[in-house]
Amino acid sequence: MNSRGRFITLEGGEGAGKSTLLKGLHDHLLQRGVTLLQVREPGGTALGEAIRSIVLDPSHPDISAESELLLMFAARAQLVRERILPALTAGQWVLCDRYVDASYAYQGAGRGQPQERIAELERWACAGLKADLTLLLDLPVSTGRARAAGRGAADRIETEADAFFERVRQAYRERAEAEPQRFHVIDASQSPDNVLQAAIAAVDHVFEANS
């Protein structure tokens, strides 16, 4: 295989089933003999996890949209440099729960931050790193929110109104339409097994292309 590892990201709204899919993909790639790093956003480093605890804490309802955006990119810049780039350089594959697309969807469409501002932060913070494959788990907002409601207390972002998440979903779909070579959209209203099989097919295509 090529010496550089491959970078795969998972995106989707609340209750889309990313956690379940991540476990299945993790196991599948290990079975294929891939050396794998799995990380999440925000998080994945000591700094990132500290930022995550702030951003998602419902006791901080007054975080401004600008502050939220900058915090997300601070965590991302650290994750890229501390863990993702070294792993890829060493030939590992990286499986990441959310990446830059999430900022365009949540802080951009959701919070109203300008797309060009996010693009500039991406150029500065991400060292040119883009995903080789992005799996987008898409489902109606009402379905996702009903699923998420059964997971326990809502975090700060999960408390937003449906209109917020409709904007998030639309932004994701528009990004997928604009970059069909990178995105693979999966109907997340299917059973977890069907979602996993669809994701495995997309990931295996990347695997075979680089073998």
Measured between its terminal Cα atoms, the distance across the chain in Å is 4
Report yes or no on 25 lying in a domain: yes
What whole-number distance in Å separates Cα of residue 137 and Cα of residue 196?
11
pLDDT band at 39 (very low <50, low <70, confident <90, very high): very high
Report yes or no on 1 lying in a domain: no
Report yes or no on 176 lying in a domain: yes
- Given CA atoms 172, 77, 8, 159 in this order, what sign does their dihedral have? negative
Are 104 and 156 within 8 A, CB to CB?
Answer: no
How many domains, in total, are found in the chain? 1
Listing DSSP states for 138-189 in one string gives E--HHHHHHHHGGGSS--TTTTS-HHHHHHHHHHHHHHHHH-TTTEEEEETT
Report yes or no on 90 lying in a domain: yes
Backbone angles phi, psi at 20, to 5 degrees: -65, -45
At 1 the pLDDT is 44
Contacts of 157 (CB under 8 A, 6+ apart): 55, 56, 106
What whole-number distance in Å separates Cα of residue 187 and Cα of residue 171?
16
Contacts of 164 (CB under 8 A, 6+ apart): 110
pLDDT band at 49 (very low <50, low <70, confident <90, very high): very high
* pLDDT(202) > 60: yes
At 45 the pLDDT is 98
Residue with tokens 């990313």: 18
Q: Give me the CATH number covering residue 15.
A: 3.40.50.300
* pLDDT(145) > 70: yes
Report yes or no on 2 lying in a domain: no
Enter the pTM of the model.
0.95
What whole-number distance in Å separates Cα of residue 29 and Cα of residue 39?
15
Cβ burial 190-211 (10 Å sphere, 16+ → b, else e): eeeeebbebbbebbeebbeeee
Q: Averaged over 126-150, what is the pLDDT?
A: 95
Are 87 and 5 within 8 A, CB to CB?
Answer: yes
Report yes or no on 140 lying in a domain: yes
Report yes or no on 47 lying in a domain: yes
Lowest mean pLDDT among 76-80, 100-104, 153-157, 163-167: 153-157
Q: Averaged over 180-205, what is the pLDDT?
A: 97
Report yes or no on 132 lying in a domain: yes
What is the residue range of 35's domain? 7-209
At 7 the pLDDT is 98
What whole-number distance in Å separates Cα of residue 65 and Cα of residue 72?
11
At 211 the pLDDT is 61
* pLDDT(210) > 80: no
Q: Averaged over 178-191, what is the pLDDT?
A: 97
